Amino acid sequence: MSTERADIRTLLASGSVVLGPMAGITEAPFRGICKRMGAQLTYTEMVSAKGLHYNPDSAVSRALLTFSAEETPCAVQIFGSEPTIMADQAARIVEQRGRDVALVDINMGCPMTKVTAKGEGAALMRTPELAAEIVSQVAVACGVPVTVKFRAGWDESALNAVEFARRMEAAGAAAVGVHGRTREQFYRGRADWSVLAEVKRAVSVPVIGSGDVFSAADAKEMLERTGVDVVMVARGAQGNPWIFREAAALIERGEVLGPPTAFERIDMALHHAEALQAFGGDHTFPRMRKHVGWYIVGMPGATHVRERVNHIGSYTELRGLLTEYRSYVEQRTEA
């Protein structure tokens, strides 16, 4: 690897598609899968700067900051509301993880009440001066590009994404990411992509668009309609890491790839389960239940399989169930 870190426009190449952070979902094994499928960049689940500050050696923190070999360098997303703590912990992460850290992203878009009630996540859109101070201190401290992800605004009466983006750029953000919903919407309704276009016109740094990208066609349409530099896929990758391969083919070559076969989906679920067990042991099994449901949605007998998954408690049982299910699908295909 080069001794020079990649600049932001290399990390976030124009027209690329990246995997966004999702708490409880984008653990290292899944990020590695998405990277192999063509994600330009992957993001960790959001990491609490305050949690790192007061309990730096916790098992939770270690797991959140463990990267898969396939994905490095990776983007680390942190959240918090204390500028000094945010800066100190960002610098600590970069120092400890070295060149595996591509950039530090600051979460200013999480809508969850347990986060916003502490003035963190999307609540920082209501305190732009504090948000700017956080970005400024983190950018000075950590020595890698610092980016910010936020929303259209707090609610329909406070749609301040454009002015907020300008403030973040002025404070030192190397790129901004915008989700086209307000905090009050959470994930309801449709994302307003016009907000993404407005932010793109307002700043000179790269802009990452987010919201309602569930297919390669959606990714291409977002790029064309809004002018954003990069598309971020989050929920659209659940059970569908192939979306990155399909989006790259469509955007770069105009090629429409077929969806994964039923066998590819089952085999990926098996691979994901093995990787997740190797990563975190049997206690990660509850996380895998939802992944299995996403991989097989819409397939014959999927409802029955999901019910059985919810009543088993080990990876050994899961491997047996998915192997059995693969044989069932094969028999139906041959019939």
Amino acid at 85: I
Spell out where 20-137 has E strands.
Answer: 47-48, 74-79, 101-108
Comparing CA positions, the residue from 275, 276, 310, 304 lying closest to residue 290 is 310
Q: Quote the tokens at residue 277.
A: 């067990």
Interatomic CA distance for residues 294 and 264, integer angstroms: 13
DSSP code of residue 294: H
Question: What long-range pairs does 61-67 form, CB within 8 A, spacing at least 24?
Answer: 63/27, 63/28, 63/279, 63/280, 65/93, 65/97, 66/28, 66/279, 67/28, 67/31, 67/97, 67/100
Amino acid at 333: T
Known catalytic residue: 110?
yes
Annotated catalytic residue, options 34, 74, 110, 142:
110
Residue pair 288/315 in contact by the 8 Å Cβ criterion: yes
Angle between helices 216-226 and 193-202 (to 10 degrees): 50
Amino acid at 227: G
> Could you give the residue numbers annotated as active site?
110
